[in-house]
């Protein structure tokens, strides 16, 4: 603002209305040049700051979109893995159930026993607050708890009458046999302790399982 009016109120109002400075007549040309240069520099800094802010906002928007895309991709992969895991578990379940049905068929007195034990085990484990993936390992361990009977001779396993003391010693080795059979199967790592320890009550009575 260049004016011949020397008035403080006018100067303040001019600045408030957007003037960058207030010069009164008669003015000094060097002062005018200095004021204009200072105003241009101020304007340049304002423009640079505005451009920086706009650029920063664009970068934030781009980064936000990238993070959303990554998040969506992670969620998609998680869903796919969950579905794949469920399919694998279903396949494992089918295979293990077929194996145990074959074993139960070998022991005529325990038809369906392994499946019932697995169902009871899952029910108890859930009441105890056990969730996946441990719950599946408990189920598999219960389903396979008698897998070691594969190594028990038919003469003992299918004996129609009571077992004598020596025969019981042989029969009670099946948890250890089951542990040995399953120890090399990596996906059953969590199920092995269930198989190995399921006769601990008998062991406590003096009949060793190992």
The catalytic residues are: 149
CA dihedral 132, 134, 137, 139 (to 10 degrees): -70
CA distance 175 to 108: 19
- C-alpha 17: how far from its chain's center? 59
- Cβ-based neighbour number of residue 157 at 10 Å: 21
1 with 22: CB under 8 angstroms? yes
DSSP string of 166-208, one letter each residue: HHHHHHTTHHHHHHHHHTT-GGGTTTHHHHHHTTHHHHHTT--
207 with 172: CB under 8 angstroms? yes
Residue 206 — left, alpha, or beta (φ > 0 → left; ψ -120 to 50 → alpha)?
left
Give, in degrees to the nearest 5, the angle at Cα 151 between 197 and 166: 80
CA distance 192 to 174: 13
């Amino acid at each position: 603002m260049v004016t011949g009016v020397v008035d403080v109120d006018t100067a303040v109002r001019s600045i408030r209305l957007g003037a960058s400075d207030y010069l009164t007549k008669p003015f000094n040309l060097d002062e005018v040049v200095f004021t204009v240069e200072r105003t241009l520099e101020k304007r340049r800094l304002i423009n640079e700051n505005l451009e920086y802010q706009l650029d920063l906002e664009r970068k934030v928007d781009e980064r936000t979109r990238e993070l959303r895309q990554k998040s969506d991709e992670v969620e998609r992969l998680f869903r796919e893995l969950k579905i794949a895991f469920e399919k694998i578990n279903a396949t494992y379940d089918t295979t293990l159930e077929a194996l145990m049905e074959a074993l139960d068929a070998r022991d005529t007195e325990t038809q369906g026993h392994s499946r019932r034990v697995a169902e009871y085990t899952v029910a108890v484990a859930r009441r105890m607050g056990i969730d996946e993936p441990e719950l599946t390992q408990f189920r598999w361990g219960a389903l396979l708890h008698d897998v070691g009977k594969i190594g028990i001779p038919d003469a003992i396993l299918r004996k129609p009458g009571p077992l004598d003391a020596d025969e019981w010693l042989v029969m009670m080795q099946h948890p250890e046999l089951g542990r040995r059979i399953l120890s090399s199967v990596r996906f059953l790592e969590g199920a092995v302790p269930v198989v190995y320890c399921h006769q601990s009550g008998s062991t406590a009575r003096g009949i060793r399982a190992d």
